[in-house]
Amino acid sequence: MYLIKIYVTYKQSILDPKGEAVNDALHRLGYNNVEQVELGKYFEIKLCADDRPVETEVDEMCDQLLANVNMETYRYEITEMEAL
Amino acid sequence: MKFAVIVFPGSNCDYDMVNALRDVLHATADLVPATATSLAGYDAVILPGGFSYGDYLRSGAIARFAPIMAAVKAVAATGKPVVGICNGFQVLTEAGLLPGALQANRTAKFICKTSPLRIANAETQFTSAYGTTTEIALPIAHGEGNYYCDEATLAELRANHQIVFEYVDNPNGSTANIAGVMNQAGNVLGMMPHPERAVEAILGSTDGLGIFQSMLTHEEVANA
């Protein structure tokens, strides 16, 4: 069993108005030293190993569904865990 | 001409579309659930506006895998018209039937207003009925209508005259003011504005009629 933590964020060329809104709100709270906020998505997937490489399956999941590769990028961390 | 209007869980412009097609244009139109797997017998497919599958993950990302989508892709491949309005446009980009993607509006606000549009390509099966009219105004209502594509894709869109509608005053930040694009073959159209909401004087405008009239005329000519 694997635990996969996936982070999906916008490419640098893509506007992130939600991140900008949070950035502005942090400034209103007085955190004027905040330079930038990027708002993305975080997934935790628990996956049973089969005969295919885990990385291949995770790449496919990201490319097909979890990220829109036109405007988003992703990275992930894979750790082994005990079965549920 | 027999239209299929696809109903995803969360579609909310489906009945407006059927009203426009049946009651105003006197065409045949059926609501077809997203769980169906065949579109046999239909001449055109429309993906209406709304919030399919709650727009969870991204607009259109889940709808793309709805059972009906294999049939929608098959219809598109045969050259019959497929039109995505608003959320339907988002579904078509997620499905890879149209290039690019729809990202959040530049202002991070949901925009609901009438938007003036330039007809960027009047020689399509979706715009021919507009004749010499170069500018129309249609309602827009979206939070993620900011069209994005990279430079290479934009160059292709321009070279192939795939940009069909452009915003006059770009309300959402769209690349190159794009409000609607079609595929290279010219039979799949996606647009954020809502033509089905502008088909009767009582609605405030009839500027949307031309799109459907163009499709009906194109079919008559094809069948003549």
Overall average pLDDT of the B110-126 stretch: 97
- Residue B9, exposed/middle/buried by CB under 10 A (0-12, 13-18, 19+)? middle
Min CA distance, B66 vs chain A (Å)?
Answer: 13
Q: How far apart are the first and last CA of chain B?
A: 13
How many structural domains is chain A composed of? 1
pTM of the model: 0.93
B78 and B44 Cβ atoms separated by less than 8 Å: no
A66 touches chain B (CB under 8 A): yes
Min CA distance, A39 vs chain B (Å)?
Answer: 12
- Residue A56, exposed/middle/buried by CB under 10 A (0-12, 13-18, 19+)? exposed
Query: Would you place residue B224 in the very low, low, confident or very high pLDDT band (cuts 50, 70, 90)?
Result: confident
pLDDT, residue B116, reads 98
B218 is catalytic: no
Which residue segment(s) compose the domain that A48 sits in? 2-80
Longest dimension (CA), chain B: 48
Q: Mind listing the pLDDT tens digit of every residue in chain A (84 residues)?
A: 999 999 999 998 888 888 998 999 999 999 999 999 999 999 999 999 889 999 999 999 999 999 999 999 999 999 999 887
The three-state secondary structure class of A6 is strand
Q: Identify any residues that bridge with B137 across adjacent strands, giving them in sequence order.
A: B116
- The model's pLDDT over B47-59, given as tens digits with 9 standing for 90+, comes to 999 999 999 999 9
Using the beta-carbon criterion (under 8 Å), do B103 and A14 form an inter-chain contact?
A: yes
Query: Would you place residue B98 in the very low, low, confident or very high pLDDT band (cuts 50, 70, 90)?
Result: very high
User: Can you list the positions of beta strands (E) in chain B?
Assistant: 2-7, 28-33, 44-47, 82-85, 101-103, 111-119, 135-142, 146-148, 163-167, 178-182, 188-191
- What's the mean pLDDT when you consider all of chain B? 97
Domains of chain B: 2-223 (3.40.50.880)
B110 touches chain A (CB under 8 A): no
Overall average pLDDT of the B158-177 stretch: 98
Min CA distance, A24 vs chain B (Å)?
Answer: 12
**Cα separation, A17 vs A20, whole angstroms:** 5
Q: For residue A28, give both structure tokens.
A: 């209103």
The three-state secondary structure class of B80 is coil
Going from the C-alpha of B124 to that of each of A33, A68, B79, B131, B218, the distances in angstroms are 52, 29, 13, 11, 9
B196 touches chain A (CB under 8 A): no
ipTM > 0.85 for the complex: no
pLDDT, residue B126, reads 98
CATH code (residue A53): 3.30.1280.10
pLDDT, residue B174, reads 97
CB pairs under 8 A between A and B: 37
pLDDT, residue A69, reads 94
User: Which of B102, B103, B105, B111 has the highest number of chain A CBs within 10 A, making it the mutation to test binding with A?
Assistant: B103
Query: Which of B13, B86, B218, B219 is flagged as catalytic?
Result: B86
Hey, CA dihedral for B167, B172, B173, B179, is it positive or negative?
negative
Q: For residue B92, give both structure tokens.
A: 């078509």
